[in-house]
Amino acid sequence: MKTFFPKINKIAYEGPDSRNPLAFKHYDPDAMVAGKTMREHLRFSVAYWHTMKGTGADPFGGGSLLRPWDASEDPMTAAEDTLRAAFEFFTKLGVDYYCFHDRDIAPEGDTLAEANRYLDRITALAGTLQADTGIKLLWNTANLFSHRRFSNGAATNPDVAITAYAGAQVKKMLETGHALGAENYVFWGGREGYATLLNTDMKRELDHLARFLHMAVDHARAIGFTGQFLIEPKPKEPTKHQYDFDSATVIGFLRQYDLLDHFKLNIEANHATLAAHSFEHDLTMASINGLLGSVDANRGDLLLGWDTDQFPTDLYSALYAMLVILEQGGLGSGGLNFDAKVRRDAFDLEDLFIAHIGGMDTFAYGLKVAARLIEDGVLTDVRRKRYASFDSGLGAEFEAGRLSLADLENYTLENGEPIPVSGKQELLENIINQYLIGG
């Protein structure tokens, strides 16, 4: 059997004092935290498109990363080699899940029928490799944005023939996901958005998007696929204005078009920050609506205004994310998918391992600290006390909807100027640092 990472052994947990770059310092899969193993909490997933198919290309130059699994001239041999290399990578890294787009795992083909034949061959092999290794499919999706036909969108394209093509791809991917036991199915908006309103009927495009999503729900039901549907918000890139802008926008859209029962959200850190939100803002907005389903774990760059998809190494961000996830009792069928890529000059194959190890350790550390903060009740106590005036008396009456503006006026006339209370943000930031440094 061909091996693609002959120099890499299975990555082991060696603890915080280890100096081995190819070992976990904090991710100890079977260690118990807050009643579950780390592996059960974190449900790490590798993104096939970046890790296996990423070439390092940018707008100024083509591929820079030469991958041994992409060496064959024959696209199907390359696809099979890539899949075998992927499962070797997942196994050695010790993740339980992976994610892919249709065109990541199999070539496009000259016709839809040919592309589907390619997919069938590759997914049969994926099924065998999943069974051999126990690695599962967190989610799959259709690539409705790379081919030139999708330049003006897919479900929101002004040409119904292109929307039909997109529908055919989604149908095939739902069936593929179902066959491979996918736990979720993701819709990321691709090019669903617009560049100028001069040629765009926004109302019609949004109606089409909703109609298309209803068709996907109907097809899933017809074939018996019970995985969770997810929408992944993003505010811009590739289009200037993406319809699935952020959590709040997507939630409003789902409510308006009667899709709330069928969808949850897949929140990506770098998409939240492109929308001028923090990662934890968009996670929280999804979570308080009961709609946080899964996470694309990555980060952007403060100084760059685009989707850099870097590996997550920011401890604060991972901590705040894990607080939201723990507070809602976990991600259910979702997971932490590393929608992240190594840099253009990360030429060594080991860089792929090192990058994922860093992301996994970062979230493992965030999990440990979040669990301690929750156990000690630090933030829950602060929040409870901060809103205590609403627990009884006037506040309780207000929350129960029993007061009018006249009642508020009377209260104020009788009680005079309220005494403002410190938000203690500086103190809380110091406490967070104390917990973070303590481990």
Q: Using CB under 6 A as the criterion, which residues of the chain lie in contact with ligand XUL when the complex forms?
A: 101, 141, 186, 188, 232, 234, 268, 296, 307, 339
Residue 191 interacts, among ligand XUL, Co ion, none and using kind-specific CB cut-offs from 5 to 8 Å, with none
Q: What's the CA angle centered on 95, arms 93 and 99, to 5 degrees?
A: 115
Structure tokens at 138: 């967190």
Structure tokens at 336: 């932490």
Residue 141 interacts, among Co ion, ligand XUL, none and using kind-specific CB cut-offs from 5 to 8 Å, with ligand XUL
From start to end of 158-281, where are the E strands?
184-188, 193-194, 228-232, 241-242, 263-268
Q: Which helix (H) or strand (E) holds 169?
A: helix 160-179
Residue 104 interacts, among Co ion, ligand XUL, none and using kind-specific CB cut-offs from 5 to 8 Å, with none
Query: Is 71 exposed, middle or buried (CB count within 10 Å of its CB: 0-12, 13-18, 19+)?
Result: exposed
Interface residue with Co ion among 246, 307, 339, 361 (CB under 5 A) is 339
340-346-349-354 Cα dihedral, nearest 10 degrees: -60
CA 355 remoteness from chain centre: 17
The stretch near Co ion (CB under 5 A) out of 68-76, 169-177, 332-340, 370-378 is: 332-340
Residue 81 interacts, among ligand XUL, Co ion, none and using kind-specific CB cut-offs from 5 to 8 Å, with none
Q: What is the smallest separation between the CB atom of 301 and Co ion, expressed in angstroms?
A: 16
The DSSP bridge partners found for residue 137 are 98
List alpha helices for 112-159, DSSP H. 112-133
Catalytic residue among 28, 102, 104, 361: 104
Strand, coil or helix: 280: helix
Q: What is the smallest separation between the CB atom of 266 and Co ion, expressed in angstroms?
A: 7
Whole-number Cα distances in Å, 414 to 266, 390, 410, 411, 418: 49, 18, 6, 5, 11
Q: What is the smallest separation between the CB atom of 384 and ligand XUL, expressed in angstroms?
A: 36
CB 338 within 8 A of CB 46: yes
The stretch near Co ion (CB under 5 A) out of 85-93, 124-132, 222-230, 296-304 is: 296-304
The stretch near Co ion (CB under 5 A) out of 289-297, 325-333, 399-407, 419-427 is: 289-297
Q: Which helix (H) or strand (E) holds 294?
A: strand 292-296
Residue among 335, 329, 336 nearest 299 (CA): 336
Binding mask 82-111 for Co ion (x = CB under 5 A): ------------------------------
Bridge-based pairing of strands 241-242 and 193-194 is: antiparallel
Does position 175 interact with Co ion (CB under 5 A)? The reply is: no
Which residues within the stretch 252-271 sit at the binding site for Co ion (CB under 5 A)? Answer: 268
Structure tokens at 173: 């991917």
Q: What is the smallest separation between the CB atom of 259 and Co ion, expressed in angstroms?
A: 20
Phi/psi at 425 (nearest 5 deg)?
-65, -40
Catalytic residue among 101, 208, 281, 356: 101
Q: What is the smallest separation between the CB atom of 409 and ligand XUL, expressed in angstroms?
A: 50
Does position 296 interact with Co ion (CB under 5 A)? The reply is: yes
Residue 362 interacts, among Co ion, ligand XUL, none and using kind-specific CB cut-offs from 5 to 8 Å, with none
Residue number of the CB closest to ligand XUL reads 188
Q: What is the smallest separation between the CB atom of 163 and Co ion, expressed in angstroms?
A: 22
Nearer to ligand XUL, 38 or 355 (CB): 355
Residue among 92, 99, 20 nearest 52 (CA): 99
Nearer to ligand XUL, 339 or 361 (CB): 339
Residue 244 interacts, among ligand XUL, Co ion, none and using kind-specific CB cut-offs from 5 to 8 Å, with none
Residue 104 annotated among the catalytic residues of the structure: yes
Q: What is the smallest separation between the CB atom of 51 and ligand XUL, expressed in angstroms?
A: 12
Bridge-based pairing of strands 36-37 and 32-33 is: antiparallel
Q: What is the smallest separation between the CB atom of 119 and ligand XUL, expressed in angstroms?
A: 16
Residue 234 interacts, among Co ion, ligand XUL, none and using kind-specific CB cut-offs from 5 to 8 Å, with ligand XUL
102-133 exposure pattern, b = at least 16 Cβ within 10 A, e = fewer? bbbbbbeeeeeeebbebbeebbebbeebbeee
Nearer to ligand XUL, 24 or 363 (CB): 363
Residue 277 interacts, among Co ion, ligand XUL, none and using kind-specific CB cut-offs from 5 to 8 Å, with none
Nearer to ligand XUL, 22 or 352 (CB): 352
Residues 103, 49: Cα–Cα separation, whole Å = 9
Catalytic residue list: 101, 104
Contacting residues toward Co ion, per CB under 5 A: 268, 296, 339
